[in-house]
Structure 1
Amino acid sequence: MSDADAGPDADAFLPDDADAVRDALVTWYEADHRDFPWRRTDDPYEILVSEVMSQQTQLSRVVAAWEAFLDRWPTTADLAAADRADVVGFWSDHSLGYNNRAKYLHEAAGQVEGNYGGEFPEEPDELSDLMGVGPYTANAVASFAFNNGNAVVDTNVKRVLYRAFDVPDDDDTFERVASELMPEGESRVWNNAIMELGGVACEKTPTCDEASCPWREWCHAYATGDFTAPDVPTQPDFEGSRRQMRGRVVNVLGRSDELALDELGPKIRVDYAPDGEYGREWLAGLLSDLDDDGLVAFDHEAGVASLAR
Structure 2
Amino acid sequence: MSERDGAGDADGVDDWSLPDDLEAVQTALIEWYEGDHRDFPWRRTDDPYAILVSEVMSQQTQLDRVVEAWEEFLERWPTTADLAAADRADVVGFWTSHSLGYNNRAKYLHESATQIEAEYDGTFPETPNELQELMGVGPYTANAVASFAFNNGDAVVDTNVKRVTYRAFSIPDDDSAFEAGANDLMPEGESRVWNNAIMELGGVACTQTPRCDEVGCPWREWCDAYASGDFTAPDVPTQPSFEGSRRQFRGRVIGTLREYDELELDTLGHRIRVDYAPEGEYGREWLTGLLSDLESDGLVDLERSDSDAELVARLQR
| Aligned residue number for residue 245 of structure 1 | 249
Q: Any idea what the Cα deviations from partners look like across 1:73-128, whole Å, max 9, x if unmatched? A: 00000000000011011001111010000000000001111111101010110000
Which of 282, 289, 297 is 1:278 aligned to? 282
One-letter amino acid of the counterpart of residue 220, structure 1: D
Which of 12, 20, 24 is 1:16 aligned to? 20
| Aligned residue number for residue 158 of structure 1 | 162
Q: Give the number of aligned pairs.
A: 306
How far apart, in 1, do the equivalents of 2:15 and 2:180 lie? 9
| Aligned residue number for residue 55 of structure 2 | 51
| Aligned residue number for residue 90 of structure 1 | 94
SS for the counterpart of 2:149 is helix
Q: Any idea what the Cα deviations from partners look like across 1:123-167, whole Å, max 9, x if unmatched? A: 110000000000000000000000000011112111110100011
Q: Residue 10 of structure 1 contacts residue 176 of structure 1 at CA under 8 Å; is this kept in 2?
A: no
Q: Residue 294 of structure 2 contacts residue 300 of structure 2 at CA under 8 Å; is this kept in 1?
A: yes
SS for the counterpart of 1:209 is coil
Q: Structure 1 residues 123-132 or 275-284, which shifts more?
A: 275-284
Q: Taking structure 2 as the reference length, what is the TM-score of the superposition?
A: 0.93
SS for the counterpart of 2:302 is strand
SS for the counterpart of 1:13 is coil
Q: Residue 16 of structure 2 contacts residue 172 of structure 2 at CA under 8 Å; is this kept in 1?
A: no
Mapping 1:22-61, distance limit 5 Å = 22-61=26-65
Does residue 310 of structure 2 align to residue 306 of structure 1? Answer: no
Q: Residue 11 of structure 1 contacts residue 180 of structure 1 at CA under 8 Å; is this kept in 2?
A: no
Q: Taking structure 1 as the reference length, what is the TM-score of the superposition?
A: 0.95
How far apart, in 2, do the equivalents of 1:10 and 1:195 lie? 23
SS for the counterpart of 1:277 is coil
Q: CA deviation at 1:24?
A: 0.6
Mapping 1:1-309, distance limit 5 Å = 13-301=17-305, 302-309=310-317
Q: CA RMSD in A?
A: 1.8
One-letter amino acid of the counterpart of residue 296, structure 2: D
Q: Any idea what the Cα deviations from partners look like across 1:144-195, whole Å, max 9, x if unmatched? A: 0000000111121111101000111121111111111100000000000000
Q: CA deviation at 1:258?
A: 2.3
Q: Any idea what the Cα deviations from partners look like across 1:168-223, whole Å, max 9, x if unmatched? A: 11211111111111000000000000001111111122111112111111100111
SS for the counterpart of 2:219 is coil
Task: Extract structure 1 runs of 4+ deviating beyond 4 A.
Answer: 6-12
One-letter amino acid of the counterpart of residue 20, structure 2: D
Identity of aligned residues (%): 75
One-letter amino acid of the counterpart of residue 224, structure 1: S
How far apart, in 2, do the equivalents of 1:231 and 1:170 lie? 11
How far apart, in 1, do the equivalents of 2:155 and 2:229 lie? 27
How far apart, in 2, do the equivalents of 1:109 and 1:207 lie? 40
Q: CA deviation at 1:9?
A: 11
SS for the counterpart of 1:35 is coil
Q: CA deviation at 1:12?
A: 5.4
Q: Which runs of 5+ in 2 are unaligned?
A: none
Q: Residue 11 of structure 1 contacts residue 177 of structure 1 at CA under 8 Å; is this kept in 2?
A: no
Q: Residue 77 of structure 1 contacts residue 113 of structure 1 at CA under 8 Å; is this kept in 2?
A: yes
Q: Which runs of 5+ in 1 are unaligned?
A: none
Q: Residue 10 of structure 1 contacts residue 180 of structure 1 at CA under 8 Å; is this kept in 2?
A: no
Q: Structure 1 residues 280-289 or 254-263, which shifts more?
A: 254-263
